[in-house]
Amino acid sequence: MITHDTVFACAPGRVELLGNHTDYNEGLVLSAAINRLICVSGKRNDRSIHLMSANFGEIEIDPVDLRPLQDERWVNYSLGVANELRELHVPIGGFTASVSGDLPARAGLASSAALQVATALFLLKLFPARLAPLEIAKACQRAEHRYVGVQSGLLDQMIALFGRADHALFLDCRSKDIRRVAFPAELALLVADSRKSRQLTEGQYNLRREETSAAARSLGAQALREVSSSVLARRGDLSALLRRRAMHVIGENERVEFALELLKNGDGIGFGKLMNESHTSSRQNFENSTAELDLLVSIAQGLPGVLGARLTGAGFGGATVTLCDRPRAQHIAAELSMRYAAATGITPSVFVCRIADGAK
């Protein structure tokens, strides 16, 4: 029975700890949901689809005419999800929904996936239907491909759905297997938003996907997941550009595997070293860092109590994640903010994040 009551759903953002741009290369990722959310609330509306956001405005369209919009593009994440659920025979009609939350947009913290997942759960409650979490994640991914134009992997949607408090999530992007790994209680994560927003639809993300696919084909592999760094080192037939792109993805897969053992042993120092190596590879091999992200990472790495730092998410702007001793976390956050502001004239948003549960 379709409800006319007000319903709501919330989904978290995430920090990518290791495994940068490995998801669409069928690789390995270590990530975690954080205690910053996007929420969608509302009720059925028989006349239209009416979406509102205090930050982005509002739109109203005919529910029969679902299509990507060219002007108010923020709504395409939600409209795309509605369309994908219809394709799965969920009887989506008109509705009024308000979007809110404290997860920064365009900061590399998966706000788009949080919006998609929150929208999907909201609609599945408003127009009651049951879908498995993996099916929901894939529907959200297809919405981003078809309605937004970003050929994203499945990482962000999976973390938003499967997150567990105080646990990192290991995701095998080929098998879709997820393993929860206890995160050391004495360590904390800081997120620093550079205030340089990302615009993935401008093409750099899709270009990197094309480049890594080309590298895999040149290496005779279905995906870079199948190639080791030792095999890559023996191949001299790749262009310099494709070699660097492959080196980054292959190295990230191997760093994730090393990190699992380090977390099991509570080795924060070793884990932080892998994060530092990851950022160096992002800067040199994948070229998805920026001057602002490099500065945040450099400042953080020089502060007492910091074990490692790197960009988080797709890059090309956005945020960094810093691993540090928990007792010093608030002091480190304040110092990082002060030094970045002094160097750039831009006050970043820096906060200590808690590893949180997934969507609800």
Residues with catalytic function: 156
Q: Which residues of 298-335 are buried (b: 16+ CB within 10 A; e: fewer)?
A: ebbbebebbbbbbbbbbbbbbbbbbbbbeeebeebbeb
| DSSP three-state, residue 171 | strand
Please give the single-letter amino acid code of residue 138. Answer: K
Task: Name the residue with tokens 């904390």.
Answer: 188
Q: Is the dihedral of CA 87, 91, 94, 97 positive or negative?
A: negative
Q: Which residues of 143-181 are buried (b: 16+ CB within 10 A; e: fewer)?
A: bbeebbebbbbbbbbbbbbbbbeebbbbbebeeeebeeb
Please give the single-letter amino acid code of residue 164. Answer: R
Strands 57-61 and 7-18: unpaired
Complete DSSP assignment for 239-293: -HHHHHHHHHHHHHHHHHHHHHHHHHTT-HHHHHHHHHHHHHHIIIII----HHH
Under a CB-based contact definition with an 8 Å cutoff, are residues 211 and 245 in contact?
A: yes
Under a CB-based contact definition with an 8 Å cutoff, are residues 25 and 89 in contact?
A: no
- Which stretch of DSSP H or E encloses residue 188? strand 187-193
What is the Cα–Cα distance from 159 to 136, expressed in whole angstroms? Answer: 12
